[in-house]
Protein backbone atom coordinates (compact mmCIF):
# COMPACT_ATOMS: atom_id res chain seq x y z
CA UNK A 1 0.00 0.00 0.00
CA UNK A 2 3.01 2.31 0.25
CA UNK A 3 2.77 3.55 -3.35
CA UNK A 4 -0.91 4.27 -2.86
CA UNK A 5 -0.43 6.21 0.38
CA UNK A 6 1.89 8.69 -1.33
CA UNK A 7 -0.39 9.16 -4.34
CA UNK A 8 -2.66 11.97 -5.44
CA UNK A 9 -5.56 9.52 -5.46
CA UNK A 10 -5.00 8.78 -1.76
CA UNK A 11 -4.95 12.50 -0.98
CA UNK A 12 -8.10 13.01 -3.03
CA UNK A 13 -9.96 10.24 -1.21
CA UNK A 14 -8.81 11.53 2.17
CA UNK A 15 -10.00 15.05 1.35
CA UNK A 16 -13.38 13.68 0.22
CA UNK A 17 -13.98 11.27 3.08
CA UNK A 18 -16.91 13.27 4.45
CA UNK A 19 -18.53 13.78 1.05
CA UNK A 20 -20.47 10.62 0.17
CA UNK A 21 -21.31 11.78 -3.35
CA UNK A 22 -17.68 12.46 -4.18
CA UNK A 23 -16.62 9.10 -2.76
CA UNK A 24 -19.30 7.33 -4.79
CA UNK A 25 -18.02 9.00 -7.96
CA UNK A 26 -14.43 8.07 -7.14
CA UNK A 27 -15.51 4.50 -6.42
CA UNK A 28 -16.95 4.12 -9.92
CA UNK A 29 -13.73 5.47 -11.45
CA UNK A 30 -11.61 3.11 -9.35
CA UNK A 31 -13.77 0.10 -10.25
CA UNK A 32 -13.36 0.92 -13.95
CA UNK A 33 -9.60 1.28 -13.47
CA UNK A 34 -9.40 -2.13 -11.80
CA UNK A 35 -11.28 -3.71 -14.70
CA UNK A 36 -8.97 -2.02 -17.20
CA UNK A 37 -5.74 -3.05 -15.46
CA UNK A 38 -6.96 -6.62 -15.04
CA UNK A 39 -7.45 -6.76 -18.82
CA UNK A 40 -3.96 -5.31 -19.28
CA UNK A 41 -2.61 -7.86 -16.78
CA UNK A 42 -0.76 -5.32 -14.68
CA UNK A 43 -0.81 -6.62 -11.10
CA UNK A 44 0.87 -3.49 -9.69
CA UNK A 45 -1.88 -1.22 -11.01
CA UNK A 46 -4.59 -3.66 -9.91
CA UNK A 47 -3.13 -3.69 -6.39
CA UNK A 48 -2.87 0.12 -6.37
CA UNK A 49 -6.52 0.61 -7.31
CA UNK A 50 -7.66 -2.20 -4.99
CA UNK A 51 -6.05 -0.28 -2.13
CA UNK A 52 -7.99 2.80 -3.23
CA UNK A 53 -11.23 0.83 -3.36
CA UNK A 54 -10.67 -0.53 0.16
CA UNK A 55 -10.19 2.99 1.50
CA UNK A 56 -13.26 4.31 -0.31
CA UNK A 57 -15.39 1.45 1.01
CA UNK A 58 -14.10 2.13 4.52
CA UNK A 59 -15.36 5.72 4.33
CA UNK A 60 -18.66 4.82 2.64
CA UNK A 61 -19.73 2.57 5.53
- Lowest mean pLDDT segment, chosen from 1-5, 16-20, 56-60: 1-5
Each residue's pLDDT tens digit, 27-51: 999 999 999 999 999 999 999 999 9
Tell me the residue range of the domain where 12 lies.
2-60
The pLDDT value given to residue 61: 84
Q: Please give the tally of structural domains in the chain.
A: 1
The pLDDT value given to residue 2: 61
Write the DSSP assignment of 33-59 as a string of letters.
Answer: HHHHHHHTT-HHHHHHHHHHHHHHHHH
| pTM of the complete model | 0.91
DSSP state of 61: -
Closest residue by Cα to residue 33 from 16, 20, 45, 21: 45
* Cα 9 from Cα 34, distance rounded (Å): 14
Amino acid sequence: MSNFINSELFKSIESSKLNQESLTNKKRYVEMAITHWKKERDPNQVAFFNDALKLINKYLK
